[in-house]
Structure 1
């Protein structure tokens, strides 16, 4: 780009042009010159990168959080939402945005999932995340600890109408293990994702839950996240213009060995490149 542009065009025109690009481009343009750096920080630019309904979503968070976010410059708000998921609704779901695209990311907390035998204290224990004996800190108030089950089955449902349209999403099971106190998790679990009451998008695969599982086993393997939780992919789907309900499940009901030591954080939906 010709660096003489900033001597010809007013700053508001440069800001309008940058707003037609992308968040990574806006950051790159800010390095060209002083006026480009100023124009790339305009609210006009970053308002367009935020989801269209971001104000409505923020209003679902706690009033103190909502008040703080509403006074931030739009660029600061954008990067805050990239780095700091906010709790919305009943506090069992979180919202953030993808750093490179501004598209929506959601996580269903463990309390928002269906957990077979989850209300039986012989098999599952719901504990405060602050009291959980694992190093990874949950963004939600509670996590689910697996005491012991031989029939493992859990999952979640999500209405696609609140996701970013025309976007391919991945669904990820987010969890960790109680160090030196887990067992029976060597076998893969069946993972599936489908649109409710439809055949499209129905796919069942296998996934391993132990972090030291080698790749190349024709199954999904977990990876460590920056927040020190583990995640394994359940599947992917394309969110078009039609409102649907996507259903995600994890199941191990064939080997029927006793399993224990799993700590469930939730299921995350985020855009895939």
Structure 2
């Protein structure tokens, strides 16, 4: 806008400029004026801020109700963006979930316990895992997946799919009431690279039991 003459850029032009910023900047721009609010909320802006392959991803949704593929496709692009930020959708066979990082717009994936290789290692194999329905979990820690894995009793454990152990780090509480611990970070500039993740504890004593595995989540740094 030219403050000396009062001339205003067309809304589509403003929207195009905003689309080259970030989700946070787009929300801030909406506070400037009514025309900026309209431009910042347009599909033109949020189409660009969504992941490039978002249409393919939501077509794989197997979530019911408001998160179904049909329901997601009728949302405005801005509403779709924030729905995917706040409500992860199940994709594929239902053992993986997808969400968007609210500040950056980058993709977040979680591999449910059924997608992981959860095994016992070593000679003293006394541990066992059982699969339980997420409906059996406490109300405050519901899983987005239909099943979770629970450790009965054992000395060693290994979950794969950083060879490093807990490394003195402590778990923290998530918004969904699950406890979370960071098991590592990685960087790759290869599109088709393979990343192996592993959580393990080989200390024999004390025995371990009661660990419930929800999944492993991959998030942008």
Query: What TM-score, normalized to structure 2?
Result: 0.90
Tell me whether 1:45 sits opposite 2:57 in the alignment.
no
Question: Which structure carries more helix by proportion?
Answer: 2
Note closer, same or farther for the CA distance 1:47–1:15 as it changes in structure 2 (3 Å cut).
same
Per-residue CA deviations over 1:201-242 (Å, capped at 9, x if unaligned) read xxx3x31xxxxxxxxxx6222111111111111111113134
2:141 partner SS: coil
Q: Are 1:140 and 2:89 matched, yes or no?
A: no
Name which of 172, 177, 184 aligns with 1:228: 177
* Alignment CA distance shift 1:6-1:239 (3 Å): farther
Q: Does 1:261 align with 2:210?
A: yes
Q: Which has the higher contact order (CA 8 A, sep 6+)?
A: 1
CA distance in 2, matches of 1:114, 1:74: 37
**Whole-Å Cα distance in 2 between the matches of residues 6 and 238 of structure 1?**
48
1:254, CA displacement in angstroms? 3.0
Map 1:168-207; keep pairs closer than 5 Å: 192=162, 204=164, 206-207=165-166
Q: For the Cα contact (< 8 Å) 1:43–1:75, is it kept in 2? A: yes
Find out whether 1:59 has 2:59 as its counterpart: yes
Matched residue pairs, number?
215
- The 1:129/1:3 distance shift into structure 2, 3 A limit, reads farther
1:69 paired with 2:72, answer yes
1:115 is aligned to 2:115: no
4+ runs of 1 displaced by more than 4 Å? Answer: 1-7
Bigger Cα displacement from structure 2, 229-238 vs 129-138? 129-138
- Indicate if the aligned counterparts of 2:63 and 2:91 stay in contact, CA closer than 8 A: no
Deviation by residue 1:64-118 (Cα, 9 ceiling, x = unmatched):
600000010000000000000000000000000110111110000000011115x
Q: CA offset at residue 146 of structure 1?
A: 1.0
Match of 1:127 among 132, 135, 150: 132
Aligned residue for 1:151?
A: 156
Gaps of 5+ in 1: 157-191, 194-203, 208-217
> 2:48 matched to 1:99?
no
Deviation at 1:151, TM superposition (A): 1.6
Please report the RMSD computed on the Cα atoms of aligned residues, expressed in angstroms.
2.4
The 2-side partners of 1:34 and 1:8 are apart by 12
Query: In structure 2, what is the equivalent of residue 186 of structure 1?
Result: none
Distance change >3 Å, CA 26–CA 2, structure 1 → 2: farther
Matched, 1:29 2:29: yes
* SS in structure 2 at match of 1:77: helix
Corresponding residue for residue 215 of structure 1: none
More strand per residue: 1 or 2? 1
In 2, are the aligned partners of 1:6 and 1:14 still within 8 Å (CA)? no
Q: Give the conservation status (yes or no) of the 8 Å contact 2:63–2:90.
A: no
1:246 aligns with 2:181: no
